[in-house]
Amino acid sequence: MKKLSLPWIIVPAAIALLFPLVTSDQYLLHIGVLVLMYIGITVAWNILAFGGILSLGHAAFFGLGAYTVAILYVDFGVNPWIGIVAGGLVAGLGSLFLAIPMVRLRGPFFTLATLAFVEVLRLLAIWAVPVTNGSVGITTPADEGFLYIAFQDREPYYYIVMAMAVLAIWASIWIYRSKLGYHLRAIASDEEAVQALGVKTNRIKVLALVISASMTGVFGAFAAIYFFVIDPATQFNASLYSIQPALNGIIGGMGTIAGPIVGAIVMTPLGEWLRVTFSGAAQGVNFMIYGIVLIVMVRMLPGGLVDGYHAVIRRLKGKKRPEPAAEAAASTDKKENER
């Protein structure tokens, strides 16, 4: 990975930190919270993408985290801070169910299995009324204060989710550069070859799955506390928490560090704007546009915005493009590996 120049880290970080000081508009702060939450989920989703694995099942982990924190809080009086951690653990454990299709299936087939997994959990959440309160859902109490993560103003939420997102990004960079990350990226380019070298690829993929799922579960748990209300249709919503992170990832640049962050920053406000603009009689149009965006992206810019940006920079500097954009995500790291 090319080393990012300092301004690229400092400027966005400063904007993010100062944002609540500039505005106290609750709606803008809410968008800020959503952006940071989606950065977290997309970064988590992207850990599997390091290995070239496409999951459309992250809504399952998101929902597991949300339900864990809510059930622990409402039924057992467990503090939500502990609940958030528990949410990550439960999501990680739940992801082990997907380990079976993961070691048996590849590529598109695993992706479809992940999609089915979300549907199964959604149906179970509707069905298991004594535990989950069925399709009505659970409302968490509004005990105010930092101890219970409940505030009148959105500003504290903003800083909490920002800390979580920063941790997630840091973890993703660390994983990317760790042995696990190298193995994953090698799997992305040629799994058979990696296996032939004696690396236990299944173990690596399952480990990545559990890490990715746990991180998503933590953000799901945060969302449950933030929204106060959870229900199966929202928390296990494939469009919102499976396809959206995947869309953010592909638009930013799948399998890169910066890609998911850029994708979430671009797509979240856009998605919110589309949702508000096309509500009522034009329902569905916002997601139709998503579908078109997805098709256009894979046709025009398969490496995502980050790759497109690099291509533009290269052209401005008058250099030739070293490789087609499609392979960029997988092969940007070859040089680093060879060192």
Partner 1 sequence: MEQMIQIVVAGLMLGGVYALIAVGLNLIFGVVKIINFAHGELVLVGMYLTWWLWLTFDLNPYLSLVIVAPVTFLLGVLIQQFLVGPMINSSPLMKIFLTLGLSVFLQNLALFMFGGQFRTVNVPWAEQNLTILGISVTYGRVTAFLVALLLVFGLFYLMKRTLTGKVLNAIVEDRETAGTIGIPVRRYYLLAMGLGVGLAGVAGSLIIPFQAAYPLAGAHFTLMAFVVVVLGGLGNMGGALVGGLILGVVETLTGTYLDPGLQQVAVFIVFIIVLIVRPQGIFGGAARNAEVGLK
Chain contacts with partner 1 (rule: CB under 8 A): 52, 54, 56, 97, 100-101, 104-113, 115-117, 119-120, 123-124, 126-127, 238-239, 243, 246, 250, 254, 282-288, 290-295, 297-299, 302, 326-327
Shortest Cβ 323–partner 1 spacing (Å): 13
- The minimum distance between CB 288 and partner 1, in angstroms, equals 4
Cβ nearer to partner 1, comparing 33 with 54:
54
| Nearer residue to partner 1 within complex by CB, 89 or 293 | 293
- Closest to partner 1 by CB, 56 vs 84, is 56
Query: d(Cα 261, Cα 253) in Å, to the nearest integer?
Result: 9
CB of 104 to partner 1, least distance (A): 4
Q: Give min distance, CB of 15 to partner 1, in A.
A: 30
Per DSSP, what are the bridge partners of residue 139? 229
**How far apart are alpha carbons 161 and 115 in whole angstroms?**
27
- Quick one: 292 or 313, whose CB is closer to partner 1? 292
Do the beta carbons of residue 59 and residue 242 sit within 8 Å? yes
233-258 as b/e, with b when 16 or more CB fall inside 10 Å? ebbbbbebbbbbbbbbbbbbbbbbbb
In whole angstroms, how close is the CB of 254 to partner 1 at the nearest point? 7
Q: Is the dihedral of CA 267, 273, 275, 278 positive or negative?
A: negative
Q: 122 or 154: whose CB is closer to partner 1?
A: 122
Q: What is the smallest separation between the CB atom of 191 and partner 1, expressed in angstroms?
A: 10
Distances (CA, A) of 52 to 46, 108, 190, 191, 278: 9, 11, 10, 10, 34
Measured from the CB atom, is 86 or 262 closer to partner 1? 262
DSSP H or E segment with residue 147:
none
**Distance in angstroms (rounded) separating the CA atoms of residues 254 and 294:** 13
Farthest-apart Cα atoms in the chain, separation: 65
104 vs 179, beta carbon nearer partner 1: 104
Comparison of 26 and 195: residue with beta carbon closer to partner 1: 195
At 181, is the secondary structure helix, strand, or coil? helix
Nearest partner of 266 among 289, 247, 239, judged by Cα: 247
Minimum gap (Å) between residue 126 Cβ and partner 1: 6
Q: How far is the CB of 242 from partner 1 (least distance, A)?
A: 10
- Going by C-beta distance under 8 Å and a sequence separation of 6 or more, which residues neighbour residue 321? 311, 314, 315
What tokens does 194 get?
């990696």
In terms of DSSP H, where are the helices of 190-231? 191-196, 201-227
Task: Please identify, using beta-carbon distances, which residue of 199 and 297 lies nearer to partner 1.
Answer: 297
The DSSP string of 55-102 is -S-HHHHHHHHHHHHHHHHHHH---HHHHHHHHHHHHHHHHHHHHHHH
Closest approach, Cβ 334 to partner 1, in A, equals 16
